Structure 1
Amino acid sequence: MTEYGQGPGLEPWHPEDPEYGDQGWAGHEAQQGQMPYAGDSQQYQQVPQPQYPQYAQQQQGQHPQGQQAQYPQAQQHPGQYPQTQQYPGQYPQDQQQPHQHQQQETYGGQGQVWDTGQMQYAGVPQAADPYAGADPYAQQQTSGYPGETPDLYGTPEAFPPPRPPGRRHLEPEEQWQEEETKADEAADSFLAGGGGADDGDEGDDGGRGGRRSGRSGGKPKKRSGMACLVAAVIIVGVVGGGGYYGYDYLKGKFGAAEDFAGSGVDEAVDVEIPKGAGLGQMGRILKDAGVVASAQAFVDAAGNNPKGKSIQPGIYPLKKKMSAASVVEVMTDPSKLHVLTIAEGMRNSKVYEAIDKKLEKPEGTTKDIAFREARNLGLPAWANNDPRIIDPLEGFLYPMRYDLKKDSTPESLLKQMVKNATDKYTELGVEGKAKELGLENPLQVITVASLVNAEGKNHDDFRKMSEVVYNRLKKTNDVTNQKIEFDSTYNYVKNQSEINFNLTEAKAFVNPYNTHNVRGLPPGPIGNPGEAALTGALSPDHGGWMFFVSVDENKTTFTKTYEEHLKLVAEFQARQKQKNGG
């Protein structure tokens, strides 16, 4: 879109270009066709008017030379703006009213004239406009009477009058002022309660005219202080909120984790750590229980403790609001863990004591329940098949760790232990292998496993000791006459764990469980064998072993003959005397 009056031809656009069409405003004289007038040094060029030939002939008839002698008209040429001339004696009114002279502007150097319609010549008759109804934007013959030109800018719908080139480029500034004013009005309206633009718009001129005073040269409305305050509050809120979250993120990322101090308040809580839980999950569980202030504090404390990575799953008796370091100290102490661990080979008498202690029951509570409720605890049908059995649950309290819960009871623990043992025996196929091993029933497999678990130290020992048991049970055994002669059976009857005891007294002690006195296996197991002892009993070494001696605490030596065995016994007795200072 071009400026008003811009012709279709190509021409320089920038005002500083020497060929720019509006330089006539700067007062430069025309340099083209000259037309002398008396007493006037200025020269003019007649503008050709091809659009209206009839009118041109009429003018030529009146003025043969194509000029208007009586009423000289300011002529135009490309790049020149016309200057209205005055001739003495012809129009005295012009001198009295110079401010009413017609102002004409030429745009684009195309000879097109735009009349501002603001001129009135006193005493000059107004002739009819021969171009009424013609296109006001088409090129027109410049009339000798400016009043004949239609007023193109007097109606409300008209475009504003053309402006001199020096002021054409001020429009962006005015638009900015108007936009600024509108922005301030919107802010004021919002702060005033959400009123629209109509609030306060009515002034002396009514409607929106008062708000557009900036176009008329009035001072632009200053920016509202309240609007600035709102903007400042918004900026501070955004920056402040972002700063807070940024600080919180950096603190959580690089700062010290939130932690409590001390060993906690006087409010106990049992926390259960599931199997397979890592330190992070443990920390979250402890935080949810109110024990630690943050999971990260627990992770950091566990990392700083040499035993931190050895924390086991289970239930821990803790307190609320404990420091992370004190929590780690408790959880790395097995004695503080709220669990019950049954060691491999442990006797039932020790298991009952441990349950009473962990559940804070009176001594003997669990044992009484075991004997009274034995038939209701889930034992297999082949268990407790000998009336001489001392404890019906012996060998069926499977050794492992048991997590104690708030609702744990002696009976519930015993049931869980019996179930675990029965499941394991079924898994290993104990019932089907009893006959393959030359035994009378599956219970004897468990009994053999309990014997080797009490005497041996590792799986290799278990297999060789099982071979010793099976060889001594054979009817062809004329060395021990089918006696097992394990010290562990004598200790079981005596409810002790002694290595040095009087062998003569042991052989004289009559009891179905004392294998130094009776032939064959005892009536039932003497402990609760673990999986290694069970597999050792199910798959003996088959090395023909008949004797063994524990030379030291870490090694057991096996022999096939009695003579080799006596030598090992002599070495063992000598070492024991030296150890005791004898």
Structure 2
Amino acid sequence: MTEYGRSPGSEPWNPEDPLYGDQGWGGQQAAAGHTPYGGQPQQQYPQPTQQQYDGRQAPYQQDPYQQDPHQQQYPQQPQQQDPYQQQYPQQQQQYNQQQYNGAWDTGQQAAMPYGTTPADPYGAQQPGYADESADYYRTPEAYPPPQPPGRRRPEPEAEPEPEAEADWQAEAPQEEKHPFFTGDDGRDDDSEYDDDPRESRRAGGGRERRGKTKKKSRNGCACLVVSLVLAGGVGGVGYFGYQFWQGQFGAAEDYTGAGSGTVQVVIPEGAGGSVIGNLLKEKGVVKSVDAFVSAQNQNPKGKTIQAGVYTLNKEQSAANAVTAMLNPSSRNALIIPEGQRNVRIYEQIDTRLALKAGTTSAVARAEAKNLGLPGWANNHANVKDPLEGFLFPASYPIAKGTKPEEVLRQMVARANEEYREVGLESKAKQLGLKDPWQLLTLASLVQVEGKTHDDFRKMSEVVYNRLKPTNTETNQLLQFDSAFNYLKGQSKIDISESEINSNQDPYNTYTQRGLTPGPISNPGNEALAAALNPTKDGWLYFVATDGMSKTEFAKTHAQFLKLKDKFDASQGKN
């Protein structure tokens, strides 16, 4: 190839050239963008190209294609006889005739003459160099000369090489060969044709026949696997669908019978059905929360289950669990009644926790400031027990192993909550009292002396009226027997005047004016409400005329004397 590169009418391209095949059929079409010679007449010019052969310069050669008779002719160098034309005169003559008549069905001209050789781009044999210019169509390795479309014959089918065989198989419809369906790992130890796929086909397709049979078997296994997966999916959907239906419409899971074994369950204050159900399920009493809630709703008294510690059987039906919790015998809570003194509560805690007598009382004295008392309850003089009035009357769950300070802390926390709710701190000064501590003390006195709700309000008015500086009837002396009994640690009704009048203890309201240094009991909600809302009737005296439950009130000293005589008569003193 010369330094000018390829151009229309130059040397033919070798089939191994990367651009070979872009020239139409057999490489004989004109290059794109060039006018075929069989079209409009074109003028040919010689190309000033030099070719070196052993250091000798070849003369300029004329384009080997024949000129149209009407074209202008230019002097050219003598041409040599085309070797191809000498060997195949008829074909060359017919080829030339068809080429210049433009009768081929392609409508295109050859891009190069047949008489040229790759070694000579101008198609001429140099004189004296015939042996140096080979004819590529005469050698055994040569490609056959291109044939016109009308005279082409199909090429004999060549046996594909292994790489070509892969391409041939890729073009044909392939049987599914994915490992999932075939189970084929690419190895076949039984095949005797593994080394050469062509030998397999020549030998009767032995490997292919055996492979095909194995593929059918493996396809069946794959289908079985898919079927099992689908069946599992359908089963899973059915299972979860059943679970959903059971959760929405089916009966809740539940045990049967009364169960066996025992366990303690602590039910906190204010717990609802779902909370109780969860606690029972965690302890193994009931099987499901829904079953317990359903049983509680079906029982007319189910909503009255109180806080406490319950001893219940394990794995019992929800209905049995509700019935057992409504039975006081299964309830193991510590119940503090209204008006009870702290000393009695300490004894109950010791008994419930199986502690030595006096253990809780000692803890209360030592840990009083660490149990959660509000600031206004601290640093009061002459107070016998700083926790008095703060062990609020309620039900407290106490399980075995609980420490006494934990129980006391629960009670103080409950008292703080109740006192905040009624507004004890904010309403004290509105009632003419110094602080909420005094208001709590007043409520504790009312709680001990009163018997009914009506008594509480009248008793509350008696205290407020006697505390007034204008009180000249009793001169601000409350004269409550309950306060004297508190300081004595007793509960007497008939106390001699000499004993009371001789005692100067700060808690003795017969000798000391005003309120006691601190509460003398733990008031409940009714006493607190009465202390915040006393009557306005002018009551100044009261007497338990039957010595027990009947309390009568008086506004003047004369009325009081009549009530006192009535009391003496009930005691057989007249």
For 1:206 and 1:346, locate their aligned partners in 2 and report how far apart those are by CA, in whole Å. Answer: 112
SS in 1 for 2:356: coil
- Which residue number in structure 2 is paired with residue 18 of structure 1? none
Using the size of structure 2 for normalisation, the TM-score is 0.52
Q: Is the counterpart of residue 433 in structure 1 residue 429 in structure 2?
A: yes
Aligned mate of 1:466, from 439, 457, 460: 460
Q: How does 1:195-234 map to 2 (within 5 A)?
A: 205=201, 226=221, 229-234=224-229
Q: CA RMSD in A?
A: 5.6
For 1:207 and 1:470, locate their aligned partners in 2 and report how far apart those are by CA, in whole Å. Answer: 125
Aligned mate of 1:242, from 233, 237, 244: 237
- Which residue number in structure 1 is paired with residue 448 of structure 2? 454
- Which residue number in structure 2 is paired with residue 12 of structure 1? none
1:356 partner amino acid: D
Deviations 1:433-481 (A, max 9, x none): 39934x7x87554332211122335776544322212333557656556
Aligned CA distance change for structure 1 residues 193 and 247 (closer, same or farther; 3 Å): farther
Aligned mate of 2:183, from 182, 187, 192: 192
For 2:203 and 2:557, locate their aligned partners in 1 and report how far apart those are by CA, in whole Å. Answer: 129
1:453 partner amino acid: Q
Q: How does 1:337-356 map to 2 (within 5 A)?
A: 337=331, 339-356=333-350
* 8 Å contact from structure 1 (residues 257, 297) kept in 2: yes
Q: Is the counterpart of residue 328 in structure 1 residue 319 in structure 2?
A: no
SS in 1 for 2:251: coil
For 1:423 and 1:236, locate their aligned partners in 2 and report how far apart those are by CA, in whole Å. Answer: 61
Aligned CA distance change for structure 1 residues 190 and 133 (closer, same or farther; 3 Å): farther
Runs (5+) with no aligned partner, structure 1: 1-127, 136-147, 158-177, 214-220, 578-582
Deviations 1:176-233 (A, max 9, x none): xx99x946x769x735355599x999796479999999xxxxxxx8996545544543
For 2:208 and 2:152, locate their aligned partners in 1 and report how far apart those are by CA, in whole Å. Answer: 24
Deviations 1:460-508 (A, max 9, x none): 654432221233355765655655344544664676668xx55xx5545
1:465 partner amino acid: M
For 1:562 and 1:208, locate their aligned partners in 2 and report how far apart those are by CA, in whole Å. Answer: 138
For 1:454 and 1:541, locate their aligned partners in 2 and report how far apart those are by CA, in whole Å. Answer: 18
For 2:217 and 2:369, locate their aligned partners in 1 and report how far apart those are by CA, in whole Å. Answer: 98
For 1:132 and 1:265, locate their aligned partners in 2 and report how far apart those are by CA, in whole Å. Answer: 111
Aligned CA distance change for structure 1 residues 554 and 300 (closer, same or farther; 3 Å): farther
Deviates more, 1:320-329 or 1:373-382: 373-382
For 1:418 and 1:242, locate their aligned partners in 2 and report how far apart those are by CA, in whole Å. Answer: 55
Deviations 1:366-385 (A, max 9, x none): 23433565577676676552
Using the size of structure 1 for normalisation, the TM-score is 0.51
Deviations 1:306-357 (A, max 9, x none): 2323344566555654433343344445665565443432211331133223
Aligned CA distance change for structure 1 residues 234 and 544 (closer, same or farther; 3 Å): same
Runs (5+) with no aligned partner, structure 2: 1-93, 107-148, 159-171, 210-215
SS in 2 for 1:268: strand
For 1:302 and 1:507, locate their aligned partners in 2 and report how far apart those are by CA, in whole Å. Answer: 57
For 2:256 and 2:463, locate their aligned partners in 1 and report how far apart those are by CA, in whole Å. Answer: 59
For 2:447 and 2:542, locate their aligned partners in 1 and report how far apart those are by CA, in whole Å. Answer: 14
- Which residue number in structure 1 is paired with residue 25 of structure 2? none
Aligned CA distance change for structure 1 residues 482 and 191 (closer, same or farther; 3 Å): same
SS in 2 for 1:429: helix
Deviation at 1:406, TM superposition (A): 7.0
For 2:267 and 2:259, locate their aligned partners in 1 and report how far apart those are by CA, in whole Å. Answer: 18
SS in 2 for 1:252: helix
- Which residue number in structure 2 is paired with residue 36 of structure 1? none
1:268 partner amino acid: V
For 2:103 and 2:550, locate their aligned partners in 1 and report how far apart those are by CA, in whole Å. Answer: 133
Aligned residues: 400
Aligned CA distance change for structure 1 residues 289 and 419 (closer, same or farther; 3 Å): closer
- Which residue number in structure 2 is paired with residue 385 of structure 1? 381
1:190 partner amino acid: F
For 1:378 and 1:518, locate their aligned partners in 2 and report how far apart those are by CA, in whole Å. Answer: 31
2:237 partner amino acid: G
